[in-house]
Amino acid sequence: MDTLKFYIDGAWVEPAAQSVLDVENPATEEVVGRISLGSSPDVDRAVAAARRAFATFSLASVEERLGCLRRIIEGFRARLPDLARAMTLEMGAPITFATERQATVALFHFEEAARVLAGYRFEERMGQGVVRREPIGVCGLITPWNWPLNQVASKVAPALAAGCTVVLKPSEIAPLSAMLLAEIIHEASLPPGVFNLVNGDGPTVGEAIAAHPGIDMVSFTGSTAAGVRVAKLAADTIKRVAQELGGKSANIILDDADLRPAVIQGVQACYTNAGQNCQSPTRLLIPRAGRDAAIEAAREAVAAIRLGDPLDLATTMGPLVSRAQFEKVQDLIRSGIDDGATLVAGGLGQPVTLNRGYYVLPTVFADVHPRMRIAREEIFGPVLSIMSYETEEEAVDLANDTPFGLAGFVQSRSAERARAIANRLRAGRVYINGAAFDRSLPFGGYKQSGNGREFGVFGLEEYLEVKAILGS
């Protein structure tokens, strides 16, 4: 799966300089493809193409933009199995999960962008004038490896719907699915320069995009530390910055909930995508009296997990994405043990049945205190911390005692009690009683989890400027 060219101005082009990076399958530690690493001249070329295209694409009618999205959707559906397999190979998601969640949810974003665009009012009378919403311009999109295609789609789809042009830098760790999407977009016959893709690493291509004076907006998903760097680089040109960053979400199980199924559901939610999920409920808050029952339920949930080859349909959890991520998670598990948390399941090392790949034992700690590293740092692996509380007030305080604020979870038999708790959580999205994902509702964080919102109408409006026209 060697993809050594970049997609710029409607064509596949050679990079300005030759620098090749291997793409590794984290399940086998074998090379499955190669990409070129770009440089500032590649970004300059992509931005110039996007600026030329913006002059006309920004004026395209709603029907023209809908036509672009519909052709992408058609091509995406036709190649969904290829996209899913690419993500399994590049970042280790089990093939069933890659098909039903990773690829399908990415498709949802294009479908949702088309739905919102078809009914959106870009101009309306207000007071003595007219308010117009216009595309912001050239958008630099920087996306991560954990949901590689989902995060690309959640940015590209609304940007195109708004009439913007884009320069995309997918993660160099998991770039193969984005390259397939670029092929789909090429076959959809968008005007040259509307969509551009330059591979590369963060310090080179990512920073060139963030600082580029020809880019009007940067949308970034990744770590909080990298988000700070992007914002600082963007500040000199006063460009808009939208960020979806880290998380340390709390899952509050109230004392009236059915504890066993609530804990099992909480463990499963924490381990989604092998725990490499920014909104994972990694802190499970349970009434102190339910400690022992919660531990037993957590052990039961862990026992049901099937680690193995991601291409095997029976596998429910694959490896972490890389050796670096594996070592980071091992270090945090070790800190939990050293800090005195009770190891309930899992722990250090790899499964004895798997002699290669970056597999981590699904791990649960109990008796976790708020100052422990495992309670405060985003682990990004299958590690759950069980914390106990006495009162609802203490539960809310524990949940909010974090620099992050991406998501929260509440479980209770009383919808009224759950809603009251949800209202008090300092988080951008709260799930009550295992509520399902909704692509139309806004997604984004409070505090150090970022700013701006994605999905639905809110996602579209991130890529629009507001203009007031007064008089006649």
Q: Which residues are catalytic?
A: 244, 278
Count of residues in the chain: 472
Name residue 407's amino acid. Answer: A
Pairing between β-strand 195-197 and β-strand 464-470 as defined by DSSP bridges: unpaired
Contacting residues for 26 by C-beta, under 8 A, at least 6 apart: 91, 92, 318, 319, 320, 321, 322, 357, 358
Residue 343 in tokens: 């190891």
Nearest CA to 408 out of 267, 283, 271, 264 is that of 283
Cβ burial, residue 400 (10 Å; 0-12/13-18/19+):
middle
Spell out the SS3 assignment of 204-265: HHHHHHHHCCCCCEEEEECCHHHHHHHHHHHHCCCCEEEEECCCCCEEEECCCCCHHHHHHH
Q: Side by side, which strands form the sheet with 123-126?
A: 123-126, 129-135, 464-470
Nearest CA to 177 out of 198, 148, 213, 212 is that of 148
Pairing between β-strand 165-169 and β-strand 123-126 as defined by DSSP bridges: unpaired
Pairing between β-strand 383-389 and β-strand 283-287 as defined by DSSP bridges: parallel
How many Å apart are CA 350 and CA 108, to the nearest integer? 35
Q: Tokens 């999109």 identify what position?
A: 141
| DSSP structure class, residue 3 | B
Q: Side by side, which strands form the sheet with 363-366?
A: 342-345, 363-366, 383-389, 283-287, 250-253, 407-411, 429-432
Cβ burial, residue 472 (10 Å; 0-12/13-18/19+):
exposed
Q: Tokens 């981590």 identify what position?
A: 360
Is the distance from CB of 133 to CB of 123 less than 8 angstroms?
yes
C-alpha distances out from residue 181 to 24, 150, 177, 321, Å: 19, 11, 6, 20
- Run of H or E including 288: none
